[in-house]
Amino acid sequence: MNETLLNILFFIVAIVLILIVAVVTKSKDNVSKTEKVPPLYQTKKQNLITEIVSPLSSAKKELLIKEIGTKCCNPTCKVNMPLEIHHIIPRSKGGSNKENNLIVLCPNCHTLADNGTIARQRLKLYSVAKIKRDRRN
């Protein structure tokens, strides 16, 4: 009976060793695979700010809104409500206070423009400079 117990014990130890070797080998495979996995996030290219663009003064904002009119410049909106000046290219990304970078929008469209729902290329079509140019012609 002791010999039978020894055989069973030997068999159990052998199985445990085989399992340990399998786990270690598998974990080594996983380590090599994880090295090939791309990072969870990609770092964005940093824009160096070479010039500080000060915010538009309240007087300048009011003047631009009076010159453009009382409606949102997003052609699909035309809401009559308090209007805001939006920088098409944000100042934080090098955008200027020049009229070709400004558009008059209602607060709703301003939010849509800020989060990218309204494309910059579309906004450029209705910039303050473009509207003034079209009115002159």
**At 1, is the pLDDT very low, low, confident or very high (cuts 50, 70, 90)?**
low
pLDDT per residue as tens digits for the range 19-65:
888 777 766 555 555 455 555 555 666 666 566 778 888 899 999 98
Burial of 105 (0-12, 13-18, 19+ CB in 10 A): buried
pTM over 0.85: no
CB 49 within 8 A of CB 94: yes
**Residue range 59-73: mean pLDDT, rounded:** 89
Mean pLDDT of the chain: 82
Question: How is the chain split into domains, by residue range?
Answer: 1-31, 58-136
10: left (phi over 0), alpha (psi -120 to 50) or beta: alpha
* pLDDT given for residue 90 in this prediction: 92
